[in-house]
A and B are shown apart, each in its own frame.
Chain A
């Protein structure tokens, strides 16, 4: 009898990691080549920026699912990797940019959670690149609850039945059960991936409140960073110099004038800026 209890216990232990939520990884936040945003084409933005200080709201870090210090590193590293991917990251001599990820705006509905992530950027110094850095980037992402398919449910059921049958025979069926659950998850994901969703929406991998929030915040953070890179690419500084593209437009009138109104310079800090205690 003791052997059977031990087998059931071992089965549960082995199967547990299949259900546990995992913290977000750096690559899941990084803006990779999958995003169709413009690469830095020339100075001053090409290899012209470096991140000097990254502050992330505590609520955002908590939503990402890991220890705050680890999540903060993941956010910072992902931002550096994103800038590197599109040619904006420079060395220590580049224009330093301070980053503040503001508190979340979250909207929960019956089968979805929407997160809005807003990131403030403040470039130091008086360089041309500093004047081209957008002040804010923002993105919204709606995480939709996944549907469990009947095929997946069947596999989960077979896994549970197998575990009980094995335990009765004195064997540990954790491997078979976790294999069945992984297979069921793959079936569900394949089905959910085919569901038609709108722009800025996606079907989450799991349906718990925490899972939906994590999925929404992860994607909204990534999309906000993509928005920042898109704005850098659209900035007059990011465009090829008229003198090098066409002699016909190389006139003083055609050179875009950089003024505070024409660019998205950082406004004075709003009253709602994250309190220092909420960031880490």
Chain B
């Protein structure tokens, strides 16, 4: 739990001080496309990912990762359902590098934009983060209360990921 709290604190601190990387797509390219498909790929780094020791933990992690996969795709599809509204079909390929699904969990992925006409990669949004920071603004007591409420952490971190990606996509520079 302490490790998770430290990770959330790090996410919150990073969110406050890190400048977002430049938008890899120009406004013209963005306006010309529409998102036809959202895919996921899992290439988890050895570091920063949970290493379950028991079969039970492994099964639980697999179940949570599957849920995260489904919710991430749904949230990103929803965030780009009507916009952009161009004529060029593209796919978003979410390459998940780190995932800690669960309470105070987070997910870190690169999102590649693939032009479906020729399969070319037109840009990559690197290190898009989504996190469940439920109760974190209330300190340790806040986190304890939030934990007791059993929030839908995987849903919250997936929606947060989609919101972050949308903000990066809409960024003027």
| A positions within 8 Å CB-CB of B | 25-28, 30-34, 39, 78, 81, 85-86, 155, 158-159, 161-162, 165-166, 169, 171-173, 175-176, 179-180, 182-184, 186-187, 189-190
Contacts and interface: CB of A to CB of B under 8 A. Distances in A.
Interface centre among A81, A155, A172, A183 (most CB of B within 10 A): A183
A32 B85 contact: yes
B121 interface: no
B61 interface: no
Contacts of B138: 166, 169, 171-173
A166 to B, nearest CB: 6
B106 interface: no
Interface stretch (B15-23, B42-50, B94-102, B152-160): B152-160
A180 B149 CA distance: 10
A94 to B, nearest CB: 18
A172 B31 CA distance: 38
Contacts of B137: 171-172, 175
6 contacts: A32-B34, A85-B87, A162-B146, A176-B149, A179-B159, A186-B78
A176 B151 contact: yes
Interface in B115-146: 132-135, 137-139, 141-142, 145-146
B141 A171 contact: yes
Given A169-B138, A186-B158, A86 B87 contact: yes
Contacts of A169: 138, 141-142, 145
B52 interface: no
Nearest to B149: A162
Contacts of A155: 151-152, 155
B15 to A, nearest CB: 12
B145 A183 contact: no
A173 B145 CA distance: 10
Contacts of B62: none
A159 B31 CA distance: 36
B36 A28 contact: no
A162 to B, nearest CB: 4
A33 B87 contact: yes
Nearest to A185: B159
Interface size grouping (class) on chain B: 35 or more
B22 to A, nearest CB: 23
B24 interface: no
A137 B137 CA distance: 53
A165 B145 contact: yes
A182 B156 CA distance: 7
A169 B84 CA distance: 43
Contacts of A158: 149-152
Interface centre among B86, B87, B135, B159 (most CB of A within 10 A): B87
A149 to B, nearest CB: 12
Nearest to B88: A33
A8 to B, nearest CB: 14
A45 to B, nearest CB: 16
Interface in B30-76: 31, 34, 36, 71, 74-75
A187 B142 contact: no
Contact of A180 (B31, B75, B85, B152): B152
A39 B150 CA distance: 51
A230 to B, nearest CB: 15
B78 to A, nearest CB: 6
A169 B149 CA distance: 14
Contacts of B71: 186
A77 to B, nearest CB: 11
Contacts of A171: 137-139, 141-142, 145
Nearest to A218: B82
Nearest to B159: A182
Contact of A30 (B85, B88, B146): B85
A34 B36 contact: yes
Contacts of B146: 162, 176
B26 interface: no
A27 B134 contact: no
Given A165-B149, A176-B149, 10 more contacts: A30-B85, A85-B85, A155-B155, A169-B138, A169-B141, A171-B141, A175-B134, A180-B152, A183-B156, A189-B78
